[in-house]
Amino acid sequence: MTPKKKAPARKKSKSPMPVKSKVEKHGVPVKMVTVFIMGKSHRVPAEATIMGAIEYAGYQIKRGAGCREGFCGACATVYRLPGDYKIYTGLACTTLVEEGMWLSQLPVIPSQKPVYDIEKLEPDVTAFQVLYPEIFRCVACNTCTKACPQSLEVMDYIQAAIRGDIEKVMDLSFDCLSCGLCAIRCPAEIVHYNVGILGRRLYGRYLSPKSPELEKRLREIKEKKFDKDYKKLMAMNRDELKKLYYARDTE
């Protein structure tokens, strides 16, 4: 994150008390709040997301932003609120600012990620014992669950990994964004999202129900059954493709 331009000089405020807004939208005054970005106070619209507020304050976000819609997990943020000892966590693109917020962006969370060959692993607890032995240090404090912006049962999927219940790890970690907020809060220094990825890979490789339709289609592709049709599609221009798309059979 680098400053785009020098922020205009402003008077230092001793406390983050609301100041009467001079910013207007369609002639209506915009409610503003004070937030602290990298230790410096800024007045930003009260309805802004953290990401929007950072940009409103004049910073260009070069790292720590991706989808801007709460899907990619690139914008992990920690913050504190005035008079509250707690450290809060959230995604900068979906969390709204609050009066007096102290913000810190975490564009990268350092983590260990062992390289492994899935063909050489067994779909049971041994895979976790070998690759992520630190999960057995979990003290069941549930801090990871509280930190998760996706409201996942993070502690429960770590406990499932400890039991070797691959299906449960897959199921409970399925919507993980790999934002890393659980990992920075864990007293056992577990990297939860990588544990979840291993569970999902093991499930996909060894345990997921096989689909006869998919197997059949893969065979047909290998036998080049659709090569002629692909060639025809590749030779079409945009308008022809559009026409074909809208004329397709929809069930």
Binding site for ligand FES (CB under 6 A): 65-68, 70-75, 91-93
The whole-angstrom separation of Cα 132 and Cα 196 is 11
Helices assigned H by DSSP within 132-222: 143-147, 154-163, 166-173, 181-185, 192-202, 212-222
Helix (H, G, I), strand (E, B) or coil at 55: helix
160 binds ligand SF4 (CB under 6 A): no
Of 66 and 187, nearer to ligand FES (C-beta) is: 66
CB atoms within 10 A of CB 153: 17
DSSP H or E run through 31 = none
For residues 39 to 78, the per-residue mask of contacts with ligand SF4, x marking binding by CB under 6 A and - elsewhere, is ----------------------------------x-----
143 binds ligand SF4 (CB under 6 A): yes
Question: Which of 33, 37, 103, 182 is the binder for ligand SF4 (CB under 6 A)?
Answer: 182
In the bound complex, what is the minimum distance in angstroms from residue 201's beta carbon to ligand SF4?
A: 15
Picked from ligand SF4, ligand FES, none, the partner binding residue 70 (CB below 5 to 8 A depending on kind) is ligand FES
DSSP H or E run through 227 = helix 227-234
In the bound complex, what is the minimum distance in angstroms from residue 136's beta carbon to ligand SF4?
A: 10
Which amino acid makes up residue 164?
A: G
Cβ-contact 112, 190 below 8 angstroms = no
Cβ-contact 133, 125 below 8 angstroms = no
Of the listed pieces 15-23, 61-69, 185-193, 202-210, which binds ligand SF4 according to CB under 6 A? 185-193
Binding-site ranges for ligand SF4 (CB under 6 A): 73, 138-144, 147-148, 150, 152, 154-155, 158, 176-182, 185-188, 190, 192-193
